[in-house]
């Protein structure tokens, strides 16, 4: 019989199901037992066809291990006990052989471009190019070392069973950390060292922009997560250029015998200055997009735009000019290899809404209007409400360290002027608990749920301790740009980073996923319902209480983090289906819901969604972001502005998921749709010409805070397809 569902081999390659392989495997085991205990040809065929039917019913590609389990069960059901025994022994011997070297197949499949799991692991890494493959190959070795040598067996097993997710095991062996806030001010004002070369304080805005891109590239090559910097640290260099240009203009005019009228000089200076600002921002945008770090991707960098981060007066006016230029250039986009203007994935932009830009009569309202137009066309910027953030962060307003990971406000982390210190701090890493598995394991029993949750949280705690202890003893020499030259600290050569791992200088994150599905399993209702919400909030409180308990005992800044999942959402979903079967509303999709988010298919309007999620965002102090799904908004900017105003009054951090795709076959500019092909696989299709070739289309979707442009696995693709509009 023909089966359309695919099989995932151990090396990650996805292949078509072949019933003859099942029959051959059973026949080999059958030939090795006495004729008296053998199965006949009809029985072997019946077992194979039974398995084929089970595979056909699966809503996702089936792992080869799952099929082997089915074979064992099928033979036993035919009372072929001796045959089953031979099959199990053969399988066990093969498993021992494979375990003797766990990396070869994974690496070879990478080189041959057939590892589907890795190909779609990261929606911003192209797995075909050499630098990315090199990083993935190193990652395979690191994962193998981590599994066999570095991590406790219970952590490895829990990760493989998808009970927890130990993030970024491919970087664990190298003692690298997650994400950070670059102290660009220190590096620019006091100088830095890049590749053993002294970089002094820049003498112009353009040079400051150039140095910034070099810093970002160096930082990205020495850690594995996101990084953020603020335009406020570049703003003082506008006046440095202004004075430099003014001096040059006066000298030129003197040499030419022209008028030294102050008004004329100022006009010439401002015109040249604006050109320099334009060139500087263009340098940042194009260099960050075209830079390829050692891990085969553009830096996961976020640019923060907050007017009130600098004093009122000339510096704030200069910052406004910089922000305007950033928004205008981003709105234009970048040209792809075909010369078509498209939406770039990076840098991510964050625009802070505050009293001086949120009302029509506010001084900088024109920037907010420009931000709205940019969001409608290019999906960024995202928005932070200064009003709500001050309420939640002890009066402070600051950027996240990547797509959403926020530092906690620490009383013992302050600058010499008494302000709280944020720039220069970082995150040690993330471990995520699968809340859906906790609920399913408890079988809906509340007492059992809380018992299992306690056990799983302590498992996460032990895993987080592994992350922390892996970093202990790291000497500053391993990444001078980070630890010695100002990005994160100014430690001495040979000094360890240990003191930066305690006292709140850095955070470490307890992630969580599937709050919605957990509620459905335990209460029968969504967490947006009156029945589900109190339970969901009580679970969130439990997570925070545990982090506070661990922090008090160890002086390590544990924090609750709303995990952004890419390939992990598919991994969790498949594991849940394998362990618990299909439970309507819980395990019946190829994905589970990110963090506290309202389920993507749940009908809810934008304002109600943001208001509801604000309560849960408050309980994710280590990082979280909310979004609303909207159609093409380029012709409805007032609606975008309405959402932005609502964000300002109701939620700390949010974004609008707009649509910005392009088909190279017909020139269609709009939303490329997801459809099922003849085999039931989800594919992208141009609604205008029917093109399904991913190499001939540009698709950008926000899947976890950052915009992805390299397409996604089937689980995430289904999640994108299921999204309903909120506006």
What's the pLDDT score for residue 289? 81
Bond before 381 cis per omega within 30 degrees: yes
What's the pLDDT score for residue 338? 78
Place of tokens 């981590």: 146
Q: Is the pLDDT of residue 644 over 60?
A: yes
Q: Is the pLDDT of residue 224 over 80?
A: yes
Other beta carbons less than 10 A from residue 271's beta carbon? 11
Q: Is the pLDDT of residue 123 over 70?
A: no
What is the DSSP code string of 532-596? HHHHHHHHHHHHHHHHHHHHHHH--EEEEEE---SHHHHHHHHHHHHHH---TTTTSSSS--BTT
Mean pLDDT of the chain: 90
The residues with which 557 forms a beta bridge, in sequence order, are 507
Q: What is the pLDDT averaged over residues 622-634? A: 93
pLDDT band at 115; cut points 50, 70, 90 = low
Pull the structure tokens for residue 341: 């203007």
Q: Is the pLDDT of residue 85 over 90?
A: no
Q: What is the pLDDT averaged over residues 193-211? A: 96
Pairing of strands 697-698, 701-702: unpaired
DSSP 633: -
Query: How far is the C-alpha of 196 from the C-alpha of 189, rounded, in Å?
Result: 18
At a CB cut-off of 8 Å and minimum separation 6, what does 15 contact? 6, 7, 9
User: 3-state class of 683 per DSSP?
Assistant: strand
At a CB cut-off of 8 Å and minimum separation 6, what does 421 contact? 410, 413, 414, 415
**238: region left, alpha or beta (phi > 0 left; psi from -120 to 50 alpha):** alpha
SS3 string, 8-75, reads ECCCCCEEECCHHHHHHHHHHHHHCCCHHHCCCHHHHHHHHHHHHHHHHHCCCCEEHHHHHHHHHHHH
Q: What is the pLDDT averaged over residues 261-289? A: 94
Query: How far is the C-alpha of 253 from the C-alpha of 265, rounded, in Å?
Result: 9
Question: Please, are residues 532 and 526 in contact by the beta-carbon 8 Å criterion?
Answer: yes
Question: Please, are residues 367 and 354 in contact by the beta-carbon 8 Å criterion?
Answer: no
DSSP E strands in 658-727: the ranges are 661-663, 669-670, 673-676, 682-685, 697-698, 701-702, 707-708
Q: pLDDT by residue (tens digit) across 138-181?
A: 777 888 888 888 999 999 999 999 999 999 998 899 899 999 99
Q: pLDDT by residue (tens digit) across 489-523?
A: 999 999 999 999 999 999 999 999 999 999 999 99
The DSSP H or E segment spanning 451 is helix 446-471
Question: Please, are residues 120 and 570 in contact by the beta-carbon 8 Å criterion?
Answer: no
Percent of the chain exceeding pLDDT 70 equals 91
Query: How far is the C-alpha of 578 from the C-alpha of 67, rounded, in Å?
Result: 11
Question: Please, are residues 560 and 543 in contact by the beta-carbon 8 Å criterion?
Answer: yes
Among residues 474, 459, 464, the alpha carbon closest in space to that of 507 is found at 464
What's the pLDDT score for residue 486? 98
Pull the structure tokens for residue 437: 């598995």
pLDDT band at 62; cut points 50, 70, 90 = confident
Among residues 702, 665, 715, the alpha carbon closest in space to that of 685 is found at 665
Q: What is the pLDDT averaged over residues 90-94? A: 73
Query: How far is the C-alpha of 706 from the C-alpha of 333, rounded, in Å?
Result: 16
Q: What is the pLDDT averaged over residues 546-563? A: 98
HSE-up of residue 540 (Cα within 13 Å, Cβ side): 26
What's the pLDDT score for residue 127? 58
Query: How far is the C-alpha of 426 from the C-alpha of 180, rounded, in Å?
Result: 4
Pull the structure tokens for residue 705: 């805070």
What's the pLDDT score for residue 356? 98
Place of tokens 């022209």: 258
Q: What is the pLDDT averaged over residues 688-694? A: 93
Q: How far apart are the first and last CA of the chain?
A: 46
What's the pLDDT score for residue 588? 94
List phi, psi (to 5°) of 448: -65, -35
Which are the catalytic amino acids? 178-179, 401, 403, 405, 427, 561, 566, 705
**473: region left, alpha or beta (phi > 0 left; psi from -120 to 50 alpha):** left
Q: Is the pLDDT of residue 90 over 80?
A: no
Q: What is the pLDDT averaged over residues 264-283? A: 96
H helix and E strand count, the chain: 24, 25
Number of residues that make up the chain: 727
What's the pLDDT score for residue 131? 66
CA distances to 163, 168, 665, 684 from 121, rounded to whole Å, are 19, 11, 27, 18
- CA 325, 661, 133, 61 dihedral sign is positive
Query: How far is the C-alpha of 198 from the C-alpha of 689, rounded, in Å?
Result: 55
Question: Please, are residues 564 and 403 in contact by the beta-carbon 8 Å criterion?
Answer: yes
Radius of gyration from C-alpha coordinates of the chain: 28
At a CB cut-off of 8 Å and minimum separation 6, what does 89 contact? none
DSSP 727: -
Model confidence, pTM: 0.84
In terms of C-beta density within 10 A (0-12 exposed, 13-18 middle, 19 or more buried), how is residue 46 classed?
middle
pLDDT band at 101; cut points 50, 70, 90 = low
Domain edges within the chain: 6-100, 180-213+228-392
Among residues 346, 391, 381, the alpha carbon closest in space to that of 654 is found at 381
Q: pLDDT by residue (tens digit) across 348-377?
A: 999 999 999 999 999 999 999 999 999 999
Q: Where are the alpha helices (DSSP H) in 58-204?
A: 64-77, 81-99, 104-111, 116-119, 130-145, 153-160, 184-190
The residues with which 383 forms a beta bridge, in sequence order, are 351, 654
Question: Please, are residues 570 and 591 in contact by the beta-carbon 8 Å criterion?
Answer: yes
């Amino acid at each position: 019989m023909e089966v359309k569902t695919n099989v995932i081999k151990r090396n990650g390659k996805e292949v078509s199901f072949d019933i003859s392989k099942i029959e051959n495997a059973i026949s080999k085991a059958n030939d090795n037992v006495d004729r008296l205990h053998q199965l006949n040809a009809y029985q072997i065929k019946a077992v194979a066809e039974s398995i084929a039917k089970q595979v056909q019913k699966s809503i996702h590609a089936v792992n080869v291990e799952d099929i082997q389990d089915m074979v064992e069960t099928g033979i036993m059901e035919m009372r072929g006990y001796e045959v089953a025994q031979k099959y199990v022994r053969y399988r066990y011997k093969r498993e021992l052989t494979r375990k003797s070297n766990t990396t070869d197949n994974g690496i070879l499949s990478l080189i041959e471009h057939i590892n589907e799991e890795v190909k779609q692991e990261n929606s911003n890494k192209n797995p075909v190019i050499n630098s990315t493959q090199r990083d993935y190959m190193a990652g395979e070795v690191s994962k193998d070392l981590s599994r066999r040598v570095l991590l406790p067996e219970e952590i490895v097993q829990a990760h493989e069973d998808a009970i927890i997710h130990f993030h970024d095991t491919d970087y664990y062996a190298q003692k690298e950390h997650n994400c950070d806030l670059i102290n660009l001010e220190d590096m620019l004002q006091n100088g830095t060292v890049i590749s053993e070369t002294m970089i002094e304080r820049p003498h112009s805005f353009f040079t400051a922009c150039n140095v910034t891109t070099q810093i970002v590239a160096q930082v990205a090559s020495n850690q594995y997560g996101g990084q953020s910097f603020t335009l406020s640290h570049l703003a003082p260099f506008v006046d440095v250029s202004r004075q430099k240009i003014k001096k040059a203009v006066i000298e030129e005019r003197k040499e030419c015998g022209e008028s030294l009228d102050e008004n004329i000089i100022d006009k010439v200076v401002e015109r040249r200055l604006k050109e320099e600002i334009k060139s500087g921002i263009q340098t940042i945008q194009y260099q960050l997009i075209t830079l390829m770090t050692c891990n085969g991707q553009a830096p996961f960098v976020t640019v923060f735009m907050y007017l009130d981060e600098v004093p009122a007066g000339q510096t704030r006016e200069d910052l406004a000019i910089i922000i305007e230029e950033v928004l205008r250039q981003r709105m234009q986009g970048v040209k792809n290899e075909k010369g078509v203007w498209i939406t770039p994935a990076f840098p991510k932009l964050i625009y802070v809404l505050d009293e001086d830009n949120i009302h029509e009569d506010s001084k900088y309202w024109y920037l907010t209007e420009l931000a709205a137009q940019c969001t409608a066309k290019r999906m960024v910027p995202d928005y932070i409400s200064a009003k709500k953030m001050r309420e939640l962060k002890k009066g402070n307003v600051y950027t996240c360290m990547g797509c959403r990971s926020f530092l906690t406000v620490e009383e013992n982390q302050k600058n010499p002027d008494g302000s709280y210190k944020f720039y220069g701090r970082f995150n040690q890493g993330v471990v995520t608990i699968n809340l859906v598995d906790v609920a399913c394991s408890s079988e809906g029993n509340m007492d059992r749920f809380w018992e299992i949750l306690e056990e799983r949280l302590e498992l996460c705690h032990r895993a987080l301790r592994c992350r922390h202890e892996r970093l202990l003893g790291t000497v500053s020499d391993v990444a001078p740009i980070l630890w010695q030259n100002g990005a994160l600290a100014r430690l001495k050569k040979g000094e360890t980073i240990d003191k930066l791992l305690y006292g709140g200088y850095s955070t470490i994150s307890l992630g969580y996923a599937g709050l919605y599905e957990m509620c459905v399993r335990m209460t029968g209702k969504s967490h947006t319902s009156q029945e589900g919400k109190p339970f969901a909030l009580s679970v969130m409180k439990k997570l925070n209480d545990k982090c506070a308990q661990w922090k008090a005992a160890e002086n390590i800044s544990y924090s609750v983090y709303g995990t952004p999942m890419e390939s992990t959402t598919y991994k969790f979903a498949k594991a849940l289906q394998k362990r618990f079967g299909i439970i309507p509303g819980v395990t019946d999709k190829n994905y589970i819901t990110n963090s506290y988010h309202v389920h993507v298919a749940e009908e809810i309007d934008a304002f109600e969604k943001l208001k509801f999620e604000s309560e849960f965002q408050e309980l994710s102090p280590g990082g979280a972001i909310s979004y609303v799904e909207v159609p093409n908004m380029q012709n409805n900017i007032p609606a975008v502005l309405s959402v932005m105003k609502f964000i300002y009054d109701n939620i700390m951090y949010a974004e609008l998921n707009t649509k910005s795709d392009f088909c190279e076959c017909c020139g269609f500019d709009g939303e490329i749709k997801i459809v099922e092909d003849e085999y039931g696989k989800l594919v992208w299709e141009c609604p205008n010409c029917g093109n399904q070739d991913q190499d001939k289309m540009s698709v950008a979707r926000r899947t976890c805070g950052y915009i992805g442009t390299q397409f996604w696995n089937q689980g995430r693709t289904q999640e994108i397809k299921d999204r309903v509009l909120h506006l």
